[in-house]
A and B are shown apart, each in its own frame.
Chain A
Amino acid sequence: MLPLAVAAMVEELPQAGNASSLHTSGRRARRVVEEARELLAASFGAGPSEVVLTAGGTEADNLAVKGLYWARRSADPARRRIVVGATEHHAVLDPVEWLVEHEGAEVVWVPVDAAGQIDLAALDEALEDDPASVALVSVMWANNEVGTVQPVAEVVDRAHARGIPVHTDAVQAAGQLPVDFAAVGVDALTISGHKFGGPVGAGALLARRGLDLVPLLHGGGQERGIRSGTLDVASIRAFAVAAEQAVSGRPEESLRLAGLRDRLVAAVRSEVPDAVLRGASTAERDGTFDRLPGNAHFTFPGCEGDSLLYLLDAQGVECSTGSACQAGVPQPSHVLLAMGVPEPVARGALRFSLGHTSTDADVEALARAIGPAVGRARGAGLTSSTPTGSMKVKEVAP
């Protein structure tokens, strides 16, 4: 967490007062929440009344996907189709699949290219197929594993031309890329505090005024009746402080991260020449990026990702293989599979995320550790190499 956010949270924790109460301390709490809401709104180009505070990104994604589906479907039962990018985070994928299994939804997965960017022609085709039957479109702003930035504004143009609302999961993008809710024109946008130095468990759905959303949580009617539950004042304040700091410092910080990331990529390539950088170009044009500046993602041929994870962790380098299931078994990433990476190759994936605490020394430590780690991991080989029935990719068109 950013020190300023920690300080704000610590200052707020001992304060009594329910932001929904009318007494003095309640009014004080309410003021803190509303100031935080204004700060968040200003940071991401939304109006204060468009900020629906949640307990994190997963809840906001669920609220957007289920809430929009239920609202749109009850207005017109023909709207059963959900059009979703193939590389979405599980917080979007899984609610969509749940709606398919339990609520009569149909899903159309929009394929991506080898860089992970969504196929706009395929999106057009999916929407044109029967626009009146589409409940919503959900396409993430930037991918959490390979960092690819999606053309969200172009997705919005295509969907809005047909009267279809759009949600975007901007959890990874917020704080690293310029995220402007009004300018991009989406109807709902997810952010999460812990991705830019705020507390874990604080997030928001930015929801356009007048957007009809069926709530997930019923109760006291907080947050315009869309999200009931006593507000966590300390977290919300720290969340807003972090957002303000991250967004105002973003132009310099994203260039710093991009520079650090480029050195990391160069170091890995020089130590392991056959490592393959996955995802979009790392180039920067006039302050805009096709890829998250703090993201590097490689596949290392002949290595098991979890072997590398262990070997690097033992050297003090912390990274991740992608997604992990409940039991902690590394699964080949649905993102890589959707990008056309064969499963045995996808098993050798490693993602390096850089953030506000990352330094040149971290990159140097990785540069020293990666060569020997890959050599060793290759010796250990792949414990399995034949394709197995895997999640979510079967439906994705080639």
Chain B
Amino acid sequence: MKVLAAMSGGVDSAVAAARVVEAGHEVVGVHLALSRNPTTLRAGARGCCTIEDAGDARRAADVLGIPFYVWDLAERFERDVIDDFVAEYEAGRTPNPCVRCNEKIKFSALLDKAVALGFDAVATGHYAQVLPGPDGPELHRSADPAKDQSYVLSVLSPEQLTRAIFPLGDTPKDQVRVEAAERGLRVAAKPDSHDICFISDGDTQGWLAQRLGERPGPLVDTDGEVLGSHTGAYGFTVGQRKGLAIGTPAADGKPRYVLSIEPVSNTVVVGQLADLEISRITGGRVGWCAPVPAVGEQVGVQVRAHGAEVPARVVAVSAAEVEVELLTPVRGVATGQTLTLYTGSRVLGASTITGTA
């Protein structure tokens, strides 16, 4: 097969590329340039997108002896990921840009271009498994549960999965680093990337404030009583406790949390921890990469990238929406996040959370 290996400059994608090369495929390495002005994204080598990362990716490709190109997808990234990220926060939701990037950039813009140029598949360093099933490829959690990234890939369609290769899905991270060192890849000890790649200092609130400006509004409790003010509702996430400038403590002396964000009235509603607990989730933008679960079926759901899976029952399902009842209530579920449904280790599909109760 002709395989395009997406190479971020990190250890995972380098070892993933190495494994595809060793499996005997014809491999070309591609680094995605996601910013027109690369140094603005990140100051240090903390993840993707710096000139240093591009250099690391190129160096790894040279060691593997494969051709290497940088493809400029900055415009698509700006439009499909960054603009969407800002718009979602502005609308009072909490987006997941990594999910969006996989859906719109890596397995759409990049994959489409690769296929058009004659490639059969795209390989990445994600920790997830594509396993053959009776009706085509199935997406499963990785063997290393601590590194599992099936959540951020759960938006992929069955067609996208047929062209996706995740060579690291069956391997623990430690072993990947050992393999990198054995292969002479200089990135073997490079630290993992954690936060959002286009916010270099990790200060999402500050980054948003720079883009959206100050928009002062009230902080209220569940009875509508004004407790204080904020400089922009977009800077808050459901479940957040820190950074609430409330002058007077609560009557019960307990800490308060963001319960909801109402973008139209620019209001942030706060309340007690217990108020954050929810047991129903509704989602829009539904996509399945497995047979659609029936109403009443018990599934596992995950609502954030590093969250635990909880048992749930499908209450309603249509082409446009899905609703689940959680058998174990969870706290602090923000709209805009991805709701991923599992059966065992298999991903059934994903949906964008539109409401909770």
Contact = CB atoms under 8 A, between A and B. Distances in A.
Interface of A: 306-307, 309-311, 313-314, 326-330, 376-377, 379-381, 383-384, 386, 388-389
B349 to A, nearest CB: 28
Given A327-B54, A328-B58, A388-B36, A383 B71 contact: yes
A329 B116 CA distance: 20
7 contacts: A307-B113, A310-B67, A310-B117, A327-B33, A329-B36, A329-B74, A381-B116
Nearest to B72: A329
Given A328-B54, A388-B36, A389-B36, 4 more contacts: A310-B67, A329-B38, A381-B116, A384-B74
Contact of A383 (B38, B69, B75): B75
A309 B68 CA distance: 11
Interface in B35-69: 36, 38, 51, 54, 58, 67, 69
B76 interface: yes
B71 A327 contact: no
Contacts of A384: 72, 74-76
A313 B74 CA distance: 24
B161 to A, nearest CB: 21
B122 to A, nearest CB: 14
B206 interface: no
B316 interface: no
Contacts of A381: 113, 116
Interface string B11-28: 000000000000000001
B38 A326 contact: yes
A187 B71 CA distance: 42
Contact of A388 (B28, B75, B112): B75
Nearest to B38: A327
Contacts of B70: 306, 327-330
B76 A383 contact: yes
Contacts of A307: 113, 117
Contacts of A309: 69
B31 interface: yes
Contacts of A330: 70, 72
B121 to A, nearest CB: 16
B109 interface: yes
A383 B38 CA distance: 18
A314 B71 CA distance: 16
Contacts of A311: 117-118
Given A329-B72, A388-B75, A379 B58 contact: no
Q: Looking at A326, A377, A380, A383, which has the most chain B CB atoms within 10 Å of its CB?
A: A383
B73 interface: yes
Nearest to B28: A310
Given A329-B33, A377-B117, A313 B67 contact: yes
B118 A376 contact: yes
A288 B103 CA distance: 56
A376 B72 contact: no
Contact of B31 (A310, A328, A388, A389): A328
A376 B115 CA distance: 10
Given A328-B54, A377-B117, A379-B116, A310 B69 contact: yes
A388 B31 CA distance: 21
Interface string B315-342: 0000000000000000000000000000
Contacts of A380: 112-113, 116-117
Q: Looking at A310, A314, A329, A389, which has the most chain B CB atoms within 10 Å of its CB?
A: A329
A329 to B, nearest CB: 4
Nearest to A308: B117
B34 to A, nearest CB: 10
A383 B113 contact: yes
Nearest to B110: A383
B51 A326 contact: yes
Nearest to B73: A383
Interface in B68-89: 69-76
B75 A306 contact: no
A320 to B, nearest CB: 12
Nearest to A314: B67
B92 to A, nearest CB: 29
Contacts of B72: 306, 329-330, 383-384
Contacts of A376: 116-118
A328 B38 CA distance: 10
Contacts of B38: 326-327, 329
Contacts of B36: 329, 388-389
Nearest to B36: A388
Pairs A-B, 3 closest by C-beta atoms: A380-B116, A384-B75, A328-B70
A329 B109 CA distance: 16
Contacts of B31: 327-328
A381 B71 CA distance: 13
A383 B36 CA distance: 14
A276 B78 CA distance: 31
Contacts of A388: 36, 75
Contacts of B117: 307, 310-311, 376-377, 379-380
B39 to A, nearest CB: 9
A306 B116 contact: no
A384 B73 CA distance: 8
Interface in B194-244: none
B101 to A, nearest CB: 15
Nearest to B52: A327
Contacts of A313: 67
Interface in B99-146: 109, 112-113, 116-118
B113 A386 contact: no
A310 B112 CA distance: 16
Contacts of A327: 31, 33, 38, 51, 54, 70
A311 B117 CA distance: 8
Contacts of A310: 28, 67, 69, 117
B214 to A, nearest CB: 26
A329 B31 CA distance: 10
Contacts of A329: 33, 36, 38, 70, 72, 74
A172 B113 CA distance: 35
A377 B70 CA distance: 16
A376 B113 CA distance: 10
A310 B36 CA distance: 21
A389 B36 CA distance: 9
A383 B109 contact: yes
Contacts of B118: 311, 376
A376 B74 CA distance: 22
A56 B75 CA distance: 36
A381 B117 CA distance: 10
